[in-house]
Each structure stands twice: as C-alpha cells, then as structure tokens.
Structure 1
C-alpha cells in the first residue's frame, strides 16, 4: 500500500501568508511555549509533546518535549491532517489507521502509536499548526481529555497572539523612531539653512533691493533678480530694474494680495516689512520658489515722509520643503500610533505632562482626550494594590538599576473594572546630572493572557476530572500545616480514603460511568468536611483529607463515620443505581508523624489495615502496624527470589470421569515449599503474586512445567492449568501457551486452561476474543468456581466453554435443597451447551453419590486423591483408579480425619 499524502487546506495560500507574517518560524525556544509542552506531557502522561507549525513542505517545532529533532517533512506529519478542521484529531492506534499505518514515523523511530493534536486556530479558518501529544503505545482518549488538550491549544494561540502584538508594537516604535529622525534631520537642515543665510547676508550673497516710492521700478541686485526668476548673466554685478507690473507677473497669484497688504501695513505703521511668498521659477522649470523678503522704511530727514524701502530677499524654499516633509512625517507617525492595537505614552517628567495616544485611552473605554494628560491620571487609574510595585520599578529604571521599565499591573477602565496591562518604557532624555527628563513607552492589554495563566495555574494544581486539589497542593498544604504543628500550634489529622467496589462499577458500566461516580463522590466529600479541611484526589479512586485543626481524635473518627455514610448512599449513574463504600486510614500529627512522608505512610498503613479488616471501615494508625506491611514486603522479596531460583513446584490432583470409571486427567496446582517457613498456602502467596505482577512469570513457568510433565503421561490424559486475571491483562499469554505446547510436544487438546469469572469482568470483549483464538489452536477452556460471580450465565451464553467446574461451596452444602437445585441447573445448562461438569471438593461418599445423581460428569477432590507431586502422580496413573477403589481410599481417609478439607 502506498504512502498517504495529506490534502492541503482550501485556504492554504492565505494560511501560509498568515504564518509567515508572524515571523515565528525558526525562532529561538521560548519558556512559555515550552511550559505548555511540559504541562501537556505531565497532564496526559505521554512521552512526547509538540507545538508544531505547518510550513509549505515541512512541520517545524516551536516547542517540544521528549524529542530531539526540530521538525519533519510535511508529508509525514500527522499534524498536516490535524489542520484540516477546527476539531482535535485523535488517532488511538496509528497501525490501524490507513492514513498512518505505513508512515515511517510509525513503522520506524519514534514508533508512534497514539496521536492527539488540537489545531492552533489564529482566526476563523486559519490553522497554523497544532499542539499535539504522542505516545508509543495505543491508548484511548476521552472527551474530557480532548477538551483539556484544546484548552491548552488556546493557551498556545494566546502566546502567538501576544507575539503578533509585540511585532505590531515594534513596527509602531520603528515608525516613531523614523519620524523622530526626520524631525532631527529637519531641525538640522533648518539650522544649516539659517547658518548659510547668515553667511550669505554677511557676504552680500543675499538678494538686495531698494524701491523709490515715487518711481514705478524696483532696483534689484543680481542675486535678488535671480531669486525673482529673471535671467541674469553669470558674474554680473549690475543692478536690474524691474517694474512693479513685471514683478507682479512672477509672484504666485495666491500670494500677491498678501504681499501688497504687507507693503501697505509697513508704510502705515512704520514697521519693518517682512513677508514670505512664492515666485515662479525661470522659464523651462516647473513650480515656485519661496522667498523671505525684509524691508525697512526710509524717511526724509526733514519732512519725515517715507521716500523709499530698502530690503533683503532670502531663498527659503528648502526650509518650506523640509517643513512640509516634517508635517507629513508627523501625520504618518500620528496615524501609526493611533491605528496600532497598543497604547503609547510620552511623559515629560519635569512638568508631569503625559501624552496618551488615542488607543491608550480607547483600550480602557475612554474617548480620545477624555483622560487628563498628566501623570496623576496614571496614578489614579492604577490599581491601589499594584501602585507601589509600579512606582518602585520606575524608580529602579530612573536610578539606573534596570535598562528599561517593565511592569504588569491593573488599570481601571471607564466601566469601573480593572484590565491587566503590560507597561514598557525607557528614558530618552537626561539632564547633565543624569536625572531623567523624558520617558516614552507602550501599554499592551494582557487581560486575556492573565486569564489563560490563571487557567494554567488551576490545571497545574487541580484534578482535571473532579476539580479537587491534586497531589501538588496536597504536599504543599500538608507540609505547611505540619510545620505549624511542630511549632506547637495544635494537632492535625490525615485521612486516606480508598473506594470499595469502584473497579466493579467501572468495568461493568464503563469508564464514563466511573468518571461520573468519582465526580459525585468528590462532591459528597467536599460537602461533608469543614471549609478549613482540604479534600484532594490522589489518583484513581484514592482520596485524602487534611484536617488542619483537631481538638481531639474523637473528631477524626466522627468525620470518618460521616464520610463512610455519605459515600455509601446510592448513586445514579445514567439510570443505574449503584452503591460503593470506602475504607479510611487515619494518622494524627504530631503523634503519628511530624513530616508529610511519615504521616502519609502511616495513614496508608492504617488504610491497608482497615481494608483487610472489613470494607466500609476506618482504622487509626497504631505503632506496630507497619510490621505487617514489612512482612508482606519481605514475602514479596522472597517470592521474587523463588521465581528466579525455581523455588516453586506443581502438584497434580486427579479428575475422575464417572461414566467411564477412570482418571481422565489432572489439575496442576501451584505450591511454594519455603526453605524456612515450610509449605506456604496458595491463598497467601497467589494474591500477592497478582498484585506485584509476579503471577505472569509464575504462570508462564506453570504452563511449561505442566505441559512438559503431561507429555510423559500415557494415552489422552489431560492437564488443567489455572490462568490469572493479570496474565490476560499483560501481553504474551497466547505466545506463552504456544511456546509451552511446542517445547513439550503436548497435543493442544490435552491442555485445559481454567479461568474464573473475574478474568472476563476486566475486559470481556478482548478476553473472549483471546479465548476463541486459543480454542482455535485446539486448547480447551474451563470456567472455574462457577456460581460465585455476578453474571456467570451471561458469560456461558457468550463463550462455549468445554468444561464448567462447580464451586466447592455448592458441593459442601449439596444436601441443602437450594444448593442441590443450583447443581442440577448447572448440569442442565452444561448439557445444552455440550460442556462437561466437574464437581470440585468432593470429600465424602454422600457428596459423591449426590453429584452422580445430579448428573455431574467428573469428580475432583479428596475422594479421588489429594494433590500429588509429579512422581506420585506418575505412580497414581499406573495404579487402578476405579470408583470402588476410590471409595476405599475415601473411607480410609475419613477414618483418619473426619473433617478433611480440600487443598486449593
């Protein structure tokens, strides 16, 4: 099958443009993106998490956890599928998904099996990439987990939005910087122009003119004539007479009236004549030149009447051009500042005047110009709890202890609420004593980011399912309270709770019902304790309660009783009424421990003792309880050593076929002959082996040992081997059976695997499928201890067992009419299903006759034989095994022990 190539989004061109505009590809790692990856890895317990951005032909990792590469080709990326819609993409087992089954990332390193990716939606339809989690094992993914992943993806988008806003602010500041540079250049140009004009005037380079008021002409120096636009020979020093009519033709029509008005005003008021106006450039040139013209009224010394005007012309065209450029630059700057998404401010420290951009005011709900342009407005609007810190950070910058002013604080909006802002600023002007004169800066609205951070903090400290505080809060609260207890501030108690029968509900009604149950129990626990008590979920169905203030241990016991009663009330789980219980262990501080580790360990030991004593019970920790735990741990350690050193043995108990009056096989029973403790009973070490997982290597050893022994037996004698629930939960059972058969050469139909109903309860569909595969190999399947579970009949209907074994409790009480009726019913069902029926624990002649009469096909128990070693079993096979001789053995056994009990 060929490799699947992910399709492109319909808006791929627009999506790529948005991604590239962010300028985020190939940037350095950033702590807040990495923090989201770490949070996702811890929250979902996965080895790999990524913030992936999908480029033209690659996916690049902005943040990563548990992986070293920086990206992959796009055609291999799971995320290339995840960006096709807004919903999270979940692949619970990549090997079964045709899109990914042949993907090199699945068939090779890192061996992806599970993938969940939530798209990073910048705006409608624009999905930049994903926040994804990856595991090398298949796994399920609930709706609650999907929601949590999408929430974390929104956090990533919030940081990307912040990055985009920072780019916009940077662009606005760059535009402002360019405008300020234009202003400086203009000022410099003006200064240079002024200097040049001064030099020109001093060197008579300026245009000079004088006008006799009684004449129609104005005499102009060559430079003045050239400025007016007249043609002048180079090097000429002659004055040029220009009539008022000629002069008027060269003046800009819009300025002519203004110039004439200036003449009249100067003559009337006896003032210095000064005016700026435009004149046409010489023929062949377009446009106008700006002149600044000065004139002084000269009067007759005797009469005082004005006789002439002497003046000077300066070419100020360059100054006007610079001013126009400056005006345009200022307009561009104003537009950039007020069209940006962030507010800007400019504070004259010496006067207290502050310029606030329109955006600075509108982002707080005010109209432009509504806020007083003074520093006291900032003081009044800043949240009182944040003002001191903001002023302290300003002082640090003013006094040189920081390169810039950076502060996150709250500002009051016009509506009266408070928004979080990020203020940045830098001093741009100092006096000679290095005191700050002026500071400019920006405001960025980070209210949304703050809300996201609060959600992250809540996720980090609370259980996602129940909303209760988690282990992190538990450790911190317990540590803080015990520190107070050590200083003599009262007593405290720690209660550890474990739900009884929760696993049965979870397996029977499903995980959603189990989650609902945990949420309801959490609510009941919160409602039962005081406000000062701390209820936490430690994981699974384990809870803990810290009682920080305790006057007497009696209070802890009363609380435990209330908790047991509250938990034990019926629960409605989607129409199913169920009840669960709880066991509680209690440790008191300081008496039972002064550190969190010791107190928790002792409360857990007390919980272990409460569960061992009876369900729905509580128990206080007492000195010496940990000895039982230590004994259990020592037994587990010795069991591990026995597994490694072949310290276990199999005994074999015969099975008698009533219709043929002969032994048809044996059941293999595990025994532990301890070198110092003697024979340890199976009911003591089998549960421990299952809890520790040692039952898996033990079970594999028992299969190989039993098959090897049975292969030496004559005829068609069978061997039955018990298979534990744990062996079905772990991979490798089928391979272990095949390996045992191949190594021993035993025919598959001579091997019987005995399972109990508890095996089917774990995951009925998967277990029944596995049983069918084993049966197809020829192996026979027996249902052991029938009748002791909750739904045995349903399993008989779903899987055709070869043998049904009636539990010894029914055989022991077979003289009771009720027990006898159950035995008859089981025989009837087995007959209809074509299965044989074995009566277990037959120990008396009366029981023997009863099971024969009820129709049982096989008998197992002390009547036939006690469990035998392999050597004794071989001898037993060689001896006569008729029913009459079984009677003789039984009678002899009864004479020796009237109350013998069947071995497990």
Structure 2
C-alpha cells in the first residue's frame, strides 16, 4: 500500500480548510443532496462529500456509510486530491498497488471501486472530493464522470458562498461594533459638554477680541499638552494652534457669529498638540460681551477632545467601504430594519440585485413582504418571528423574490437581531440577502439528471418509485386497477459476454426505445437495474387489457436488434401484476410481478406470466436459443 503524498501547498490548503470552518459541522441539505445525486447518477451504494484534514478524512455528507472520518493514511480521497484537475477512478482496488494493502480493501467494508472528483477552490486548493464507492469492481461512463466533476464544482461553489457569507457577516458585525462605539463616544462627548457648560473643569477658554489675549483653564492646557508656565494668559497663539486646512472654514463660522448672524459658533476642527500631533476638538463658543454698537468684546468657548470619536467614524467609514467592496463582487445585499419606526435601509447592491435605482421605491417595513412570493411568505414570516421573539439564535431561510422586471429570484436570507430593549423586545434587526438563483437552477438540472438513466434515457429507479406511489394513491381513490410489469432481457449475460459492454449497451438502449414506444404516452417505462425494466400502466380495464399490453411489448421486440458488428434476436420475459387488493402496498405488488417474471423464465422465456391469473403466454415458436441468436452480416 502506498501512502498519500502531502500537497506542495499543504500549509495554505489546510489554512483554507480551517478558514471555512466546515469541519465537524452539522449536516446541511445542500451537501447531502450532492452526495445523493452522485450515488443516483453513478448507481453506487456509497457516495461522499469529503474533506481531507491534516491527519484524517472527514465526511461532510454520506450516502450508504455511517462512519464520519477515516485516517488520512487509509484515505482514497487523499490520493484523489494529489491531482486537482483530474478524476481519480479505481475500477478494482485489489489490482492497484496504492490500495491493494489498504485495510479498507482487505477488511471490512472490502472496498473495490472508487471514483473521486476533487473539490478545488478558486485559489487552486484541493480541499476534498465528491466520490462514489462500491464493494465490487465496476466502470463508469463518460457522462457519469462529467456529472461527478459537475457535482464537485457545485460543492466548491457552496464553499465559496460559505466563505463570502462569513466575510460579509464579520464585516457587518464589525460595522455595528464601530457604530456602537461611535454612538457611545458621542454620548460621552455630549455629557462632557454639558458639564463644561455647567462650569466644570473641562476645556474652557476665554478670548479678549480686541487684544487677542487667549486664556485657558487647566483642562484645556492639559488637553493640548502644555504646562502651567507655558500656558499663561496671552502666551499661546490660539489661531496658530488650528490646523491650516481647517482655519478658513472655522474662521468663516466664527466671524459669522461675531457679526451677529448666528446665535453661537459650533465647529469640529484639528488643533496642534504640544508634541506636534493633531487632535480633533469640538469647539463651541458664544460672544458673552458686546459694546453699544454690537461689536464683540469677549468670547467664551469650550473645547472637547473628540479624537477617538473621529477615529472611530473614520474606521467605520473604511469598514463600510470594505464591506461594500466585498459585496459588490456578487449578488449580496445588506438591509437594516428599525423595528420601532418600521424604516429600513438597504445598501446599493441590494437595490441593484432587484433591478431598482437606489431609493426608487420607499424603504418601509412592508416593502420586503410585498416582493416575496406568496407561497414562501408565511414560512418566512414565521421563521423571522421566531427569531425576533428570541426562540432561535438567528433567522435563515430561502424565498423567491420578485425582480422589477417580473421574474422571480431565489434569495437566501440571513438575519439577526442586533439590538434589544431592557425588556428583551427586539428593536433593530440586520440581514444579508444572497442571490442563489443560479445555484437553484443547477440543483434542478442535477435533480433531473438524478431521475434519468444515463444509458437509456428512461426514467430511473428513483423516478419510478416516486411516480408509482402517486399512481397507487390515484388507483385506490378511483377504484381503477393499475398494472405493473417487471421484465428483463433474456440471456443478457450471454449477450454481454459474447459482444462486450458496447454490444450490451446497444441492446439495452434499443430495448428501452422499443418498450417505451410499446406503451401509451400516459404510461411509464423505467430502467430498474442492470437489464431489468418496469412498466407502469394506469387505468387498466382488467387482466385482458394487461395481457394485450404485454403481448404488444413482445411483438415490439421481434425485429432484430442492430449492434456493433452484427445483429441479434432479443427477447424478454415479463411478470405482470394488477393492483386490486386494498391493503396491498407497492413492495408487495412488485414482489408479485417479480414472482410472475420468474415463472415466465421457468416456462421458457420470450413470454409473460400474469400473477394469479390465466392470461399467461409464451411465444415458444419464436424463442431463440442464446447460442444461435447472433445473425452475422
């Protein structure tokens, strides 16, 4: 057994995996669907969505397997990620030097077949695989290989969405934190100003207008970094302390008040500290003494250090820019709802996502509800209400939302209450909207592939089992029988052995085409497994009608089948079962059809048997021995 090799970029690869915080998380439907689709498409009993950690392989989603992790030394997936742009297919592990001695091969569960497509990030890091496994040797078609690669890319898209969601949530939390800090600084500044105006020892200054003599109190000189000797009355040039870039605007405001145009002067500007740095101050002043002509003689003012507040506002602005940059690369919108006023705010990308110009329609509480699809609204409202009431840590749901042009977008909505009152009532809630319409379309496409047999194009077993349940319910309501036919290709193993897989596949495809043409458009022909097929016929008048349908299938198969290099006479054996027993379930009905098929085989093949009826037929005169069924051209 050869151990898997560490990646050249193992350090960055592991960091990327850690940053996603996906290991050891709860099951998620999106990943479970990928594993289920892989198993259905490839027809294997086991499928995984796995991630390769430092010393182990951890399975995010599993079908047909209960273990959650495997030692990396024994991991097939650890080999699969060694080549990030290729599918690893092991048709028989006992014949491969890398795996012949692997405990998973030599002991339980005795793995034989493996096919894994690497899950590769945009940065080129192979984090794990979407893989299918079987306990017997086998091969997969090109279509199945392509489907595995598509599913791996789908898993990578989910990881990318997860990463962007983490980033958006982190930036949103940081923005709220900075906003809270800024509000706190503002409140504290207002409190300090109130104390100053009440005569507290905080940043007071007194200016004699005529002489320019500037007198400051202890708090003011401490704020500016001067000693008592350095800040004697009239010793500091107050104009020279104001930042040159702020002076013109400040002087305009200050002079406007001195001329009596405004009741006071209020301005935020920078002042030079003794050590050379610049601090931000909130300056408020009023002329407290004027002469008879109204000319100002004396001005009293206050300075409050608001440097921390300004820095917080600047950081908040930068964080907002970073958040907008992060969101501008994709269909991600932010919203913020004040539950007290019902007013909502949305970022620019939110409006663009739904086809509107920013502010084109009024952002009120009912806007979102008016855009949500009626079939999704109640569930979304209930989920959001439960979170607002404190029953869940956050709200998360998927809804359809109407675009301005009338089409529906699939939106993933995540929201969290960020502010509550003393009584616990929600006051403010923020959320992220992600456009997942493309992801939904891919899921629908993959779901359709999972219900169709890749070789014959017929519905597969999964599709049949879904429809037969509905058909049984309709049959019981209408008291009209339905018919199940279980059929397989006579001597198919001999055909496969004699003409190879290409010949066998050609027979199965033509067989499927003929039986589909042999039934009504309202009936269903499906490939059940291997060379086994089922026919579902609804509204069957009785056993005679079912027998006629079975004979029609036999007649449809009479013309020779063309295969690569020759032609074949192909026959089938059919087991027919009619419903009619009220408490009979579908497995029991299938079992009766299967038993009838067995009787048809015993009777010489190329015919049908009706379960528990007299309408049984063998076309003995047309039966062809397997050894003589090939017609040479």
TM-score above 0.5: yes
| CA–CA distance in structure 1, aligned partners of residues 280 and 121 of structure 2 | 54
> 2:303 aligned to 300, 304, 315, which one?
315
Q: Does the 8 A contact of 1:52 with 1:79 survive in 2?
A: no
Structure 1 segment 540-689 matched on structure 2, within 5 A:
540-551=530-541, 553-574=543-564, 576-590=566-580, 594-612=584-602, 615-623=605-613
Deviation, 1:76, is 6.9
| CA–CA distance in structure 2, aligned partners of residues 542 and 259 of structure 1 | 89
Which residue does 1:892 correspond to in 2?
none
Deviation, 1:223, is 4.7
Which residue does 1:216 correspond to in 2?
211
1:860-903 CA-to-partner distances (Å, cap 9, x unmatched) read: xxxxxxxxxxxxxxxxxxxxxxxxxxxxxxxxxxxxxxxxxxxx
Q: Does the 8 A contact of 1:343 with 1:442 survive in 2?
A: yes
| CA–CA distance in structure 2, aligned partners of residues 51 and 252 of structure 1 | 61
Is residue 12 of structure 2 the alignment partner of residue 19 of structure 1?
A: no
> 1:240 aligned to 228, 233, 238, which one?
233
SS of aligned partner of 2:380: helix
SS of aligned partner of 2:86: coil
Q: 1:287 to 1:591 in 2, by over 3 A?
A: closer
RMSD across aligned positions (CA): 4.3
Deviation, 1:141, is 0.8
Q: 1:492 to 1:85 in 2, by over 3 A?
A: same
Which residue does 2:130 correspond to in 1?
131
| CA–CA distance in structure 2, aligned partners of residues 366 and 108 of structure 1 | 62
Structure 1 segment 731-746 matched on structure 2, within 5 A:
none
Which residue does 1:294 correspond to in 2?
285
Q: Does the 8 A contact of 1:33 with 1:63 survive in 2?
A: yes
| CA–CA distance in structure 2, aligned partners of residues 356 and 566 of structure 1 | 64
Structure 1 segment 49-68 matched on structure 2, within 5 A:
49-55=47-53, 59-63=57-61, 66=65, 68=67
| CA–CA distance in structure 2, aligned partners of residues 86 and 160 of structure 1 | 13
1:465-516 CA-to-partner distances (Å, cap 9, x unmatched) read: 3343444554554454444444453333333333335444323222232223
| CA–CA distance in structure 2, aligned partners of residues 477 and 261 of structure 1 | 81
| CA–CA distance in structure 2, aligned partners of residues 183 and 543 of structure 1 | 65
Which residue does 1:355 correspond to in 2?
345
Q: 1:50 to 1:279 in 2, by over 3 A?
A: closer
- For structure 1, the residue ranges without an aligned partner over 5 or more in a row are 627-757, 762-787, 792-904
Q: 1:402 to 1:113 in 2, by over 3 A?
A: closer
Bigger shift: residues 415-424 or 4-13: 4-13
Deviation, 1:441, is 0.9
Q: 1:606 to 1:366 in 2, by over 3 A?
A: same
Q: 1:197 to 1:268 in 2, by over 3 A?
A: closer
Structure 1 segment 64-463 matched on structure 2, within 5 A:
66=65, 68=67, 70-74=69-73, 77=76, 79-81=78-80, 83-102=82-101, 106=105, 112-123=111-122, 125-135=124-134, 137=136, 139-143=137-141, 147-148=143-144, 151-152=147-148, 154-155=150-151, 157-203=153-199, 205=201, 206-209=203-206, 211=208, 215-218=210-213, 220=215, 222-223=217-218, 226=221, 233=228, 240-241=233-234, 246-262=237-253, 264-269=255-260, 271-276=262-267, 281=272, 283-287=274-278, 290=281, 292-296=283-287, 298-299=289-290, 304-306=292-294, 308-316=296-304, 318-340=305-327, 341=330, 342-349=332-339, 351-364=341-354, 373-375=363-365, 377-398=367-388, 402-413=392-403, 417-429=407-419, 436-451=426-441, 453-454=443-444, 457-458=447-448, 461-463=451-453
- For structure 2, the residue ranges without an aligned partner over 5 or more in a row are 617-624
Task: State the number of aligned residues.
Answer: 618
| CA–CA distance in structure 2, aligned partners of residues 478 and 259 of structure 1 | 82
1:265-308 CA-to-partner distances (Å, cap 9, x unmatched) read: 335436534243657546554435636241226455xxx42364
Deviation, 1:392, is 4.2
1:104-137 CA-to-partner distances (Å, cap 9, x unmatched) read: 6555666554333222233485322323344555
Which residue does 1:514 correspond to in 2?
504
| CA–CA distance in structure 2, aligned partners of residues 379 and 343 of structure 1 | 16
| CA–CA distance in structure 2, aligned partners of residues 445 and 289 of structure 1 | 42
SS of aligned partner of 1:359: helix
Which residue does 1:737 correspond to in 2?
none
Deviation, 1:54, is 3.5
| CA–CA distance in structure 1, aligned partners of residues 222 and 282 of structure 2 | 8
Deviation, 1:322, is 0.9
1:604-659 CA-to-partner distances (Å, cap 9, x unmatched) read: 44444545556543444445899xxxxxxxxxxxxxxxxxxxxxxxxxxxxxxxxx
1:364-390 CA-to-partner distances (Å, cap 9, x unmatched) read: 566666676445553454334433443
1:693-717 CA-to-partner distances (Å, cap 9, x unmatched) read: xxxxxxxxxxxxxxxxxxxxxxxxx
Q: 1:384 to 1:162 in 2, by over 3 A?
A: same
Q: Does the 8 A contact of 1:76 with 1:104 survive in 2?
A: no
Q: 1:349 to 1:227 in 2, by over 3 A?
A: same
Q: Does the 8 A contact of 2:42 with 2:140 survive in 1?
A: no
More helix by share: 1
Structure 1 segment 522-537 matched on structure 2, within 5 A:
522-537=512-527
Q: 1:50 to 1:273 in 2, by over 3 A?
A: closer
In the superposition, the TM-score normalised over structure 1's length comes to 0.59
In the superposition, the TM-score normalised over structure 2's length comes to 0.81
| CA–CA distance in structure 1, aligned partners of residues 577 and 45 of structure 2 | 36
Deviation, 1:549, is 0.9
Moved over 6 A (4+): 227-232, 431-435
Q: Does the 8 A contact of 1:298 with 1:308 survive in 2?
A: yes
| CA–CA distance in structure 2, aligned partners of residues 220 and 114 of structure 1 | 89
| CA–CA distance in structure 2, aligned partners of residues 547 and 230 of structure 1 | 94
| CA–CA distance in structure 2, aligned partners of residues 27 and 254 of structure 1 | 54
Deviation, 1:347, is 2.4
Is residue 528 of structure 2 the alignment partner of residue 538 of structure 1?
A: yes
Q: Does the 8 A contact of 2:37 with 2:447 survive in 1?
A: no
| CA–CA distance in structure 1, aligned partners of residues 370 and 360 of structure 2 | 14
| CA–CA distance in structure 2, aligned partners of residues 235 and 504 of structure 1 | 109
Larger Rg: 1
Q: Does the 8 A contact of 1:54 with 1:80 survive in 2?
A: no
SS of aligned partner of 1:491: coil
| CA–CA distance in structure 2, aligned partners of residues 410 and 56 of structure 1 | 40
